Amino acid sequence: MKTKIIFVDGPDDSGKTTLIETLKSTLPNRYRLTELKFNKGLNGLLRINTEEQFEILKSVLPHLCKENIYIVDRCYLSNIVYDQVLRNESAEPSYHFRDWCKENLDSIEIILDRPYIKEDFQDNLININQNEFNQIIDAYRDFGSYDIINQPELYNTVYNEVEELCKS
């Protein structure tokens, strides 16, 4: 049996945390949905985006308790999007890790969408201009995404996808 993990990703303010909290409160307790928080450091985001850093995760993730279903707020997709769009860096290690997850874990990706912004974006972690932020939104959309903010009925689709993983 493989470790089951749900990767939730998307641009800032797309509803990731809200979705995770909603899933945790609505899925039956028997699924033992557990949030993994290996991506946030003190006072900001801990970037995990090198082959060496991913090797640590590769050695840990397969050995997590198989009775739990794990859910992660941001992971390799954020590295891919932000490294390519903002930093103009190679995201090759993140793509390799994504492939490894698909081969070695029982995992799904839930990518959330949000409307384009009309002014610069700022929160406690980033300050980004409107054009770059909208490029980030487009980059996530290239992976396929659910706009549950503007189309709340899509939550049922996401819920069913998550429940299917839990039942398998």
Q: Which residue(s) pair with 6 in the sheet?
A: 71, 108
* For residues 40-59, average pLDDT: 73
pLDDT (0 to 100) of residue 42 = 46
* For residues 121-127, average pLDDT: 75
pLDDT (0 to 100) of residue 46 = 58
Q: Which amino acid is at 129?
A: N
Walk me through the domains of the chain, giving residue ranges and CATH numbers: 4-167 (3.40.50.300)
**Distance between CA atoms of residues 114 and 14, nearest Å:** 5
- H or E segment and range at residue 52: helix 51-60
**Per-residue b or e along 58-95, where b marks 16 or more CB atoms closer than 10 Å to that residue's CB:** beebeeeeeeebbbbbbbbbbbbbbbbbeeeeebebbe
Band of the pLDDT at 123, cuts 50, 70, 90? Answer: confident
CA dist 155 → 7, 18, 36, 104, 151 (Å): 15, 11, 21, 27, 8
* For residues 46-66, average pLDDT: 86
Report whether pLDDT(68) > 70: yes
Band of the pLDDT at 71, cuts 50, 70, 90? Answer: very high
* For residues 86-100, average pLDDT: 89
- Note the pTM of the prediction, 2 decimals: 0.89
- Other beta carbons within 10 angstroms of residue 15's beta carbon come to 20
From 13-17, 37-41, 53-57, 144-148, the region with the lowest mean pLDDT: 37-41
